[in-house]
Amino acid sequence: MAGKPGGEIPVKHGRTAARYFLPVVRFAGLHVLTLSNPIGRKAAPSFQAHAAPLIRTKSKDLAAAGVRLVPRIAGVENGLPVLADGTRLEVSNVIWCTGFRDDFGWMDPVMLDGGALPRQRRGVALDTPGLFFLGQEFMYAAASATLPGASRDARYLAGRIPVQVTRESASAAT
């Protein structure tokens, strides 16, 4: 496995975790770790800078199965992956799982906070009326990039998107 791991949840995933631990994590991610309180504001930069944690898999289980952790892949040479430290891996197969990364290069740099993320509050662009964002890491809460968090953020945004009345919809309403 190449790259830097993003951590892992401290309990074994399964029935017990689903019943006792994960509801606590979900509650914290939706209601405690938000930009509305000091704890969430302090935690936000850490969430945005690291990869998502392993949930079902533990590093020790991967190691026990013979999976070796190596530096990130920086390129390909003669069809083989080359690591960031220059090592060329002699492997027969590669499964390339890149995840995702925000790319706001299409936006005017003055619309970005510090040049990287859009200037927004809870998904509403601060500088561009009619522009909204959803699903970003810690947009409002630690869970903003998850289905429960994104759905809550979407409900919030739905109440802020102006409804434009056209002649057709106005005629249909009368």
Q: Is residue 138 part of a domain?
A: no
pLDDT: which is higher, 132 or 40: 132
Q: Is residue 75 part of a domain?
A: yes
Q: Is residue 106 part of a domain?
A: no
- 170: pLDDT confidence band, cut at 50, 70 and 90? low
- Using DSSP, state whether 124 is helix, strand or coil: strand
DSSP SS3 for 27: helix
Average model confidence (pLDDT) across the chain: 80
Contact 133, 120 (CB under 8 A): yes
Per-residue pLDDT, averaged over 136-151, amounts to 86
Containing domain of residue 92, as a range? 69-99
Number of domains in the chain: 1
Residue 132 lies in a domain: no
pLDDT at 50: 63
In the predicted model, is pLDDT for residue 154 greater than 90? yes
Helices (H) and strands (E) in the chain, counts: 6, 6
83 within a domain of the structure (yes/no)? yes
Whether residue 88 has pLDDT greater than 90: yes
Residue 112 CA to residue 105 CA, distance in Å, equals 10
CB atoms within 10 A of CB 145: 20
Q: Determine, yes or no, domain membership for 111.
A: no
**Residue 92 belongs to a domain:** yes
Of the spans 6-15, 30-39, 120-129, which averages the highest pLDDT? 120-129
In a domain? residue 144:
no
More confident residue, 96 or 34: 34
Q: What pLDDT band is residue 97 in, cutting at 50, 70 and 90? A: low
- Asked if residue 169 has pLDDT above 80, the reply is no
What pLDDT score was predicted for residue 57? 75
